[in-house]
Structure 1
Amino acid sequence: MDRPVPAAPADNRAWGSDAIADVLRALEIPFVALNPGASYRGLHDSLVNRLGNTAPQMLVCLHEEHAVALAHGYYKASGRPIAAALHSNVGLMHGTMAIYNAWCDRVPVLVLGATGPVDAARRRPWIDWIHTAQDQGALIRHYTKWDAQPASVPAAREALLRAAQIMASAPCGPVYVNLDAALQEQPLDHLPAPPDVARYAAPPAAAPAPDLLARAADLLLRAASPLILMGRTGRSPAAWEARVRLAERLGARVATDLKLPATFPTGHPLHVGPPGTFAAPSLQAAMREADVILALDWVDLGGTLRAAGAEEAGPRIIQVSPDARLHNGWSFDHGGLPPADLYFDNEPDPVVAALLAALPARATPPPFVVAEAPAAPAAPGPLAIPGLAAALRRATAGREVTLIRLPLGWDGALWHFAHPLDYLGQDGGGGIGSGPGMAVGAALALRGTGRLPVAVLGDGDTMMGLSALWTAAHYRVPLLVVVSNNRSFFNDEVHQERVAKERGRPVENKWVGQAISDPDPDFAKLAEGLGLLGIGPVGTEAALNEALARAVAHVEAGGAALIDARVAPGYAPAMASALTREPRRD
């Protein structure tokens, strides 16, 4: 940790930022990820010289987008929000993509902003003018739950309490509190006592309406072929077990989504095919065959039903989601409007618990055993993503692994998830460059848990966000990054191939304007320059075996490592099909 020199005995002077820092400590915010900026120099001083850079501890990031991504990843691994500080309007503009990701992923992040003095008479020439905005929160108001620019120290303290309460209320999301630089540096006669934050806690999850619950239980009991879509659900082992019991009691088939963290054991006999980023043909068929679908906050339920042809004349739908509370007219992250025969405006976990209590008990099925086939010996020839997954399984055998991120080309059949922390999902907004920052945040949250944090990132994602990895090296955060490097923005090649075929033009030109080559970025050298162990490039499964053995040992010793794995371009069939499929127009 960056340890400051102890401050000299104070002369009993206090400052606005001291009172603000005290609230952050009272809220038990463990970290503030930041890229330094003069607009919050007052708060920075208070975090260092009043709080000693502990509770919260500052985490230096090399880009504001990384700071928010780090906070995003930390929450996904821990269920605990942290803060990200962004310097004035320019830092906020840097951080907007990561804020949108957190919004789409329904993740709470306390974004602390700052502005040059609102009082124009107090601005320094030039710099304070270009770093002051009339309504800074307007930059992100469409994709935050709430924002404020308090005009006094008491108002700033209240704003932080309200922000913490709002971001943790379902559906969760980022909030923004913008602190006037002059307010931070305002002298105070005395420091107010820290607030009793328990009196400002988020409300508990609401229980479902009894009548609605009874109707849902009856519908599910009478269902001959029920299907449960596991979407945004609770991450605790207890919530996981409750979902397993519900599916087993109903004999319901279950689907999960690679866009989201692990929510149900993918090796369970009731799980429908492998999870994917888009609904695979096996899931679409299951949706058409189902007579009742219980959707637990499934991402874009309307679009998924439509793609499967199960929207109108298909199954009865029980929708469980509080997400509509966030929907607005600016962003269409809410997806298509689904039909629902029963609609719970609740978080899924209380509904699952209530359904278990309402449904008659049945004989408990014997525990299922996932028969993971041992990874085959290294295959000859160029490395592909299945070979990368096989090598990773061999290298981590016997360990608890958290897959923080996976690339778009990943096939869900390559790795089973049996615990809520086995996989943390994607970034929500689909913004390239988030992977490294989120990986660092998740790995920080997993430090000391005994789990091995692994992020398999695309090359474009890594290149955009690479400098985020310096923070892992600096703070000694154990992390393994494997770059699934196909030397291309390959997602766009898939789209260009489709357009070329439709227009009768040369498919061979799909790579033009997409390739990341000539020169090929040397990720291993770049990682070494940031303080990580860099290995590669490796282009065969045998070479990857050796690289992983070395990297895993380094991470287990407390270091951060990156492997540049050169893979052949390609997507899992279901992914490639979904990317190029014509949307339904009927």
Structure 2
Amino acid sequence: MDKFDRPIGLETPSTLDWKSDIAAEMLRRLDIPYVALNPGASYRGFHDSLVNYLGNRSPQMLLCLHEDHVISIAHGYAKVTDKPMGAVLHSNVGLLHGLMGIFNAWGGRAPMIVVGATGPVEPEKRRPYIDWIHTSKDQGGLLRNYVKWDDEPRSADGIVEAFLRGHQITASTPRGPVYICLDAGLQEDPAPEHFHIPTAERYQPISPACATQRDIDAVADLVRAARNPLFLFGRGSVDQGDWDRRVALVEAAGAYVMTSTRGKAVFPTDHPRHAAPPLTWLDADAKPIVEAADLIVSFDWVDLNGLLRQVNRKSDQLEARIVHVTQDRSLHNGWDMGYFGLPPADFPIDANPDAFVAQLLVSLNGRDKGISTWTGIARIDPGPVEFNVNSDREIIPFDLEVAVKKIAESRKVTLANNNIGWSTRAFMIRGPLDFMGHNGGGGIGAGPGLTVGVALALLGSDRTVVGVMGDGDFLQGVTALWTAAHYQIPALFIVANNRSNYNDEIHQAAMAKDRGRPPENRWIGQQIDNPALDLAGMARAQGVEAEGPVENVNDLMAAIERGLAVVDAGRPYLIDAHIALGYTKKIVTRGH
């Protein structure tokens, strides 16, 4: 049986009769495979076109129960593919619901075509009351500071222009969401007769920017001369060729590498040149490696100055030569501080990091090998990878990492989401689809939808999708599981349930200590208990098979075995794992 909903009575192809048909046709011509949506009357014309003009195929609609999930599913899909999905939001109210997810996608530099609606703009077309409160003069003003571009077309030709331009902008690096608002009245107007739509092939995304040969030669000379070159790989594509070139460049340069838990997989973490487990903060073990570097090359590292300031508060006084390769400056607009501190750079280079890797690799391979590098400074041993000594009685956060590692011993695993404090010390990243990284903006509730979106992108592949999320993240995004159940999108959801907003417990303890007050009171207004929540029951209410709570590692692994059998059969599964308070990696509070 087809897992997607198919319309009836469409034996003969529909003709392009309405202006909303033009918008739907543009999604098809731009090869958008899916549109996630939560219904609303403001785009009823567009909705009809998706169903009765396109036949709910290419793109396929995905019904969601909340606008947050509309965006997070599209975000998860983009993490895997580096390509945009469609995400449709009803009027100003649906957009307001989806704004947090859009901010996450902006922070994660995820491509996405967000389609909204308003109006009718012409007042004489508005129904009493409801169309008036759902009409905004400048709906794009709600999100203009955290999308790459927005538009509100006023004609059939304007619709075509908006989608061609919007797709080109969102899919060109540095990527990010775009927003197109469709006037409800315009949607329901007849399309012009014999309307011409140009071919999309002549409006492709722009090729990633390359560096000048002068910059390439200068950096190649620096790499050859360096005794201890350190490469910081931040944002990068999921393309296997780009992955292989990163590895080849490191080996040609004799460099050490660091990566971050905040980004997607960009380099194998078990490679002998991967100097330390992926960073959240620069811990005491990893700091000497950065201190010893005489050349630091940042490939679009997120918050480079924040890293450097953990070595020397006056980062401009670091002796290492610094190269910073990024196009991200083009997105910095002053509204949010997601551009981070301004890093010192001897060579600030405006180029796509993967394009730069390819250029630099050619330059290094064409020269004699340099001197041996990183002598006397050892790669950090990630330490023992095993369950805790009391695993027969409890589950600690690191046990979940060991559990994912054990899953990956017999199958290809994509870790779609991870809870706070994840170290990636147990689960080794060996390919570009192994680890999907952070949600981008820190907006809670995204984990379930991101996991669904990642699993959607990997439908039919040989990969098992696992999403690990905190209980707070799960509770705010639980209804995203209904979409996974309805469309039979297989993924294993593991809730790291510590029955607390524990990150804020840490902040409250730090605040109390600073003020000479009892830190023992940190739990008040934080713990999620009394009554205990039935997380497995919540999942089952969405149509997802689930079990828990499990409270020791043996029961956890048995539950995982049962869950994987369900996932292998093409359905989602959830496990509620009660874990002890704490994090694998230290979470830094301000001033601590």
Query: Into which bin does the TM-score normalised by the smaller protein fall?
Result: over 0.9
Matches within 5 A, 1:375-386: 375=386, 379-386=391-398
1:10 positional shift: 7.8
1:375 positional shift: 5.0
Matched AA of 1:237: Q
* Structure 2 partner of 1:352: 357
* Structure 2 partner of 1:559: 571
Distance 1:552 1:581 in 2: 43
| Matched length | 576
- Cα shift readout 1:305-357 (whole Å, capped 9, x = no counterpart): 11221712221110000000010111110100001101110011111111111
CA RMSD, Structure 1 to Structure 2 (Å): 2.0
* Structure 1 partner of 2:554: 542
1:191 positional shift: 5.0
Matched AA of 2:342: L
Please say if residues 249 and 361 of structure 1, whose CA atoms lie closer than 8 Å, have aligned partners that are also in contact: no
- Cα shift readout 1:534-570 (whole Å, capped 9, x = no counterpart): 1100010011011111001100110100000000010
1:489 positional shift: 0.7
Please say if residues 261 and 422 of structure 2, whose CA atoms lie closer than 8 Å, have aligned partners that are also in contact: no
**Among residues 319, 322, 331, which one is paired with 1:317 in the alignment?**
322
1:288 positional shift: 1.6
* Structure 2 partner of 1:334: 339
Q: Which runs of 4+ in 1 moved over 4 A?
A: 8-13, 370-378
Any idea what SS the aligned residue of 1:20 has? helix
- Correspondence 1:575 to 2:583: no
Q: Which moved more, 1:443-452 or 1:307-316?
A: 307-316
* Structure 2 partner of 1:222: 225
**Among residues 372, 376, 389, which one is paired with 2:401 in the alignment?**
389
1:184 positional shift: 0.6
1:238 positional shift: 1.0
Distance 2:383 2:31 in 1: 41
Matched AA of 1:323: D
**Among residues 518, 524, 529, which one is paired with 1:517 in the alignment?**
529
Matched AA of 2:506: V
Please say if residues 72 and 446 of structure 2, whose CA atoms lie closer than 8 Å, have aligned partners that are also in contact: yes
Please say if residues 269 and 428 of structure 2, whose CA atoms lie closer than 8 Å, have aligned partners that are also in contact: yes
- Correspondence 1:41 to 2:44: yes
Please say if residues 16 and 53 of structure 2, whose CA atoms lie closer than 8 Å, have aligned partners that are also in contact: no
Distance 2:488 2:27 in 1: 24
Please say if residues 395 and 545 of structure 1, whose CA atoms lie closer than 8 Å, have aligned partners that are also in contact: no
The TM-score normalised by the length of structure 1 is 0.95
Instruction: Label 1:485 to 1:425 Cα distance change in 2 as closer, same or farther (>3 A).
Output: same
1:533 positional shift: 0.8
1:377 positional shift: 9.3
1:497 positional shift: 0.9
1:194 positional shift: 3.8
- Cα shift readout 1:478-526 (whole Å, capped 9, x = no counterpart): 0100000011111001111111111221111011011111112111011
Distance 1:351 1:85 in 2: 35
Instruction: Label 1:372 to 1:52 Cα distance change in 2 as closer, same or farther (>3 A).
Output: farther
Matches within 5 A, 1:123-522: 123-190=126-193, 192-309=195-312, 311-314=315-318, 315-359=320-364, 360=367, 362=369, 375=386, 379-522=391-534
1:117 positional shift: 0.4
Please say if residues 243 and 352 of structure 1, whose CA atoms lie closer than 8 Å, have aligned partners that are also in contact: yes
Matched AA of 1:342: F
1:169 positional shift: 1.7
Please say if residues 535 and 562 of structure 1, whose CA atoms lie closer than 8 Å, have aligned partners that are also in contact: yes
Please say if residues 117 and 132 of structure 1, whose CA atoms lie closer than 8 Å, have aligned partners that are also in contact: yes
Distance 1:554 1:176 in 2: 37
Distance 2:426 2:85 in 1: 32
Q: Please list every run of 5 or more consecutive structure 2 residues that lacks an aligned counterpart in the other structure.
A: 373-378
1:154 positional shift: 0.8
The TM-score normalised by the length of structure 2 is 0.94
Instruction: Label 1:356 to 1:9 Cα distance change in 2 as closer, same or farther (>3 A).
Output: closer
State the identity as a percent: 46
Any idea what SS the aligned residue of 2:479 has? helix
Matched AA of 1:356: L
Please say if residues 14 and 191 of structure 1, whose CA atoms lie closer than 8 Å, have aligned partners that are also in contact: no
Instruction: Label 1:13 to 1:480 Cα distance change in 2 as closer, same or farther (>3 A).
Output: closer
Please say if residues 375 and 391 of structure 1, whose CA atoms lie closer than 8 Å, have aligned partners that are also in contact: no
Any idea what SS the aligned residue of 2:434 has? coil
